């Protein structure tokens, strides 16, 4: 339920709860009142409930309004149950829906202290002590809800930054490999051609070495962790997708892998890496959330873009809860956004799950490859 709908529902419940406190004309003698009194009580009922439509924007002001309505009903010797409920809901909002956590904590502690004092020293008003106890609990529960939201937001942000760092490390490796190939080839070509060509290639070599040095200075700090040893394998490519699919099949996941669309075209190493990682993460998600369910992977070369879909059927057995749910989709979105593409993820009508992505693949990318269809850095 959206926050706005939740506000509407809370307001409607409080309005309906407060309306029976109005002394309507049709009630028996002694329980009804004249028109002016009825209008006054009706306005009071609306005042203690309608402002909840804005409970997330004015939580402290709303709590003050409900306290005023509660005290006024008490002064008029009227039922305070509906007004008390509004006070409790507003107290929760002070802790949960605004920058008033310190106020909520203070009021919550004071309310609980008042409840304890009444319970210990004033036996004649224990019901009032119960209300103060509920009020203190409402403040502190709202504050706890805010703390949980902040913790979840911090965890999501940490996962977001960690995923970006992991992607940056992999792209760092790809770029370093490419620049190394540029400098090596430029240095080799400078040995044989004419003087003019040699000077040009010498400049290319120098620029390549400078770019390689600056890139190392810029991103080298991302490699300062124990997981990136010097003997780490190179970044995977599309050629290794079959091996990835075979590994998933060996682990018990039936996988159907097809390549379609127009004639496959060469891709940049970074784009190949992103596609490989998207498929890898989608297969991992399918194995975690739908163990044993068949998975269909389709890779399509279209004009100007590459389309990818990974669809798994409904799970055959109930998968265990995953405390890190959603992290894989975060990584997929990061990789697709990096290339200005589109990604969609969600349940299918039959109860399965589908991940679809479209990544731009301009025809100009082919110009970066040699005549034999291989990227220079991969020859």
**Residue-wise pLDDT tens digits, 214-263:** 565 555 545 544 444 444 556 677 778 888 888 888 888 888 988 887 66
* Surface-to-core class of residue 158, CB atoms within 10 Å of its CB (0-12 exposed, 13-18 middle, 19+ buried): exposed
**pTM of the model as a whole:** 0.48
CA dist 243 and 123 (Å) reads: 76
Strand residue runs (E) in 116-237: none
* Residue among 266, 182, 265, 279 nearest 236 (CA): 279
* Residue among 160, 119, 158 nearest 136 (CA): 119
Q: What percent of the chain has a predicted confidence (pLDDT) above 70? A: 69
Domain 238-378 has CATH 3.30.565.10: yes
- Reported as type and span, the H/E element at residue 357 is strand 353-360
Q: Quick one: pLDDT at residue 370?
A: 39
What's the whole-number mean pLDDT along residues 123-133?
Answer: 74
| Coarse DSSP helix, strand, coil percentages of the chain, rounded to the nearest 5 percent | 65, 10, 25
- Helix-helix angle 126-189:269-289, to 10 degrees: 140
Q: Quick one: pLDDT at residue 371?
A: 38
Q: Which has the higher per-residue pLDDT, 65 or 288?
A: 65
DSSP string across 180-243: HHHHHHHHHHTTSS-HHHHHHHHHHHHHHHHHHHHHHHHHGGGG-STT--TTPPPPP-GGGHHH
Q: Is the pLDDT of residue 369 over 50?
A: no
To the nearest whole number, what is the mean pLDDT of the chain? 76
The two tokens of residue 28 are 């028996």
- Residue 44 C-beta-side C-alpha neighbours within 13 Å: 24
Q: Quick one: pLDDT at residue 208?
A: 67
Q: What percent of the chain has a predicted confidence (pLDDT) above 90? A: 1
Q: Quick one: pLDDT at residue 209?
A: 65
Name the range with the highest mean pLDDT among 49-53, 303-307, 368-372: 49-53
372 pLDDT band, cuts 50/70/90, is very low
Q: Is the pLDDT of residue 377 over 50?
A: no
Phi, psi dihedrals of residue 190, rounded to the nearest 5°: -70, -15
139 pLDDT band, cuts 50/70/90, is confident
102 pLDDT band, cuts 50/70/90, is confident
* Residue among 86, 112, 117 nearest 14 (CA): 86
The residue extents of the domains of the chain are 3-153, 161-223, 238-378
Q: Quick one: pLDDT at residue 367?
A: 37
CA dist 136 and 140 (Å) reads: 6
131 pLDDT band, cuts 50/70/90, is confident
Q: Is the pLDDT of residue 126 over 50?
A: yes
User: What is the DSSP pairing of strand 295-302 with strand 255-261?
Assistant: parallel
Q: Which has the higher per-residue pLDDT, 173 or 110?
A: 110
Strand partners, 120: none
- Residue 206 C-beta-side C-alpha neighbours within 13 Å: 6
């Amino acid at each position: 339920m959206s926050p706005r709908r939740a506000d509407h529902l809370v307001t409607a419940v409080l309005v309906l709860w407060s309306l029976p406190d109005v002394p309507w004309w049709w009630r028996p003698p002694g329980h009804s009142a004249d028109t002016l009194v009825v209008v006054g009580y009706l306005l009071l009922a609306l005042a203690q409930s309608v402002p909840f439509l804005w409970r997330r924007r004015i939580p402290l002001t709303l709590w003050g309004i409900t306290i005023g309505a509660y005290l006024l009903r008490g002064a008029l010797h009227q039922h305070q149950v509906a007004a008390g409920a509004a006070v409790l809901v507003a107290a929760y909002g002070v802790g949960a829906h605004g920058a008033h956590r310190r106020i909520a904590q203070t009021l919550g502690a004071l309310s609980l202290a008042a409840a304890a004092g009444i319970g210990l020293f004033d036996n004649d008003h224990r019901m009032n002590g119960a209300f103060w106890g509920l009020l203190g609990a409402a403040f502190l529960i709202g504050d706890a809800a805010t703390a949980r939201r902040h913790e979840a937001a911090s965890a999501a942000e940490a996962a977001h930054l960690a995923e970006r760092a992991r992607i940056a490390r992999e792209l760092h490796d790809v770029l370093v490999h490419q620049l190394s190939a540029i400098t090596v080839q430029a240095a080799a070509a400078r040995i044989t051609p004419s003087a003019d060509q040699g000077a040009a290639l010498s400049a290319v070599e120098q620029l390549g070495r400078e770019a390689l040095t600056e890139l190392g200075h810029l991103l080298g700090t991302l490699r300062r962790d124990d997981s990136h040893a010097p003997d780490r394998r190179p970044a995977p490519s599309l050629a290794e997708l079959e091996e990835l699919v075979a590994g998933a099949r060996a682990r018990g996941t039936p996988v159907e892998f097809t390549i379609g669309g127009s004639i496959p075209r060469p891709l940049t190493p970074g784009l190949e890496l992103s596609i490989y990682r998207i498929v890898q993460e989608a297969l991992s998600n399918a194995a975690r959330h739908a163990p044993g369910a068949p998975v269909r992977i389709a890779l399509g070369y279209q004009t100007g873009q590459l389309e990818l879909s990974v669809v798994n059927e409904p799970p055959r057995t109930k998968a265990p809860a995953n405390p890190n749910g959603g992290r894989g989709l975060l990584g997929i979105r990061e990789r697709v956004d990096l290339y200005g593409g589109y990604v969609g993820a969600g349940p299918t009508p039959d109860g399965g799950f589908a991940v679809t992505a479209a990544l731009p693949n301009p025809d100009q990318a082919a110009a970066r490859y040699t005549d034999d269809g291989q990227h220079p850095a991969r020859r």
